[in-house]
Amino acid sequence: MEEESWTPPPPHSVQIDVDGAVRHQHQAACGGVIRNAQGEWLMEFCKSLGQHSVIEAEIQAIMLGLKMGHQMGLQKVLIYSDSLNAISILMRDCPMDHPLRNIIGETRDLLFNDWNVELHHTSRDNISCADYMAKEGHNVAVEDGVVMTPTIPQGCLHLALRDQGSIHG
């Protein structure tokens, strides 16, 4: 089911919005944000991926969001992505000769690990902060790995405030 605006996760849950971004010459990046049931910002993250396809960037975004949640010790997580194609690939059997088989397998291992994870599709408008962070990933050197901070970046503040307004408005 697709949401119409950003909504917080149920009580005792955490929501991780993720997105991938690809620009000229297949330069890919991904990013996301983690918020609690009150809509409070817990963490943002982004990463440059090097040269990859759009679908691989979207799957990498989901995988990175899962890794971040797992590292934080979260137990009940809702992952939101705007890529129905990536979600579909992750939820069905993967042929042995699929070019992304390894990353699909690694992501599926995280999805079906020892925690409660739900994977949801939503529109890009509803994960605009994750979209912003994915684009920020283009400003990170590949060798720097994942960049994480617990504060809302200035360029995303208006989006986060808009999302907060949808909770309380």
Domains of the chain: which residue ranges?
Answer: 14-168
One of 3.20.20.70, 3.30.365.10, 3.30.420.10, 3.40.50.2300 is the CATH number of 14-168, namely 3.30.420.10
Distance from C-alpha of 13 to C-alpha of 77, rounded to nearest angstrom: 6
Give 108-156 pLDDT, tens digit per residue: 999 998 899 999 999 998 999 999 999 999 999 988 999 998 888 888 8
The pLDDT assigned to 8 comes to: 86
CB 157 within 8 A of CB 129: no
Whole-number average pLDDT of the chain = 90
Lowest mean pLDDT among 26-30, 130-134, 139-143, 158-162: 158-162
Can you say whether the dihedral through the CA atoms of 45, 111, 102, 59 is positive or negative? negative
The pLDDT assigned to 71 comes to: 93
Give 39-67 pLDDT, tens digit per residue: 889 999 999 999 999 999 999 999 999 99
Range list of H helices, 42-156: 54-71, 84-91, 101-111, 128-136
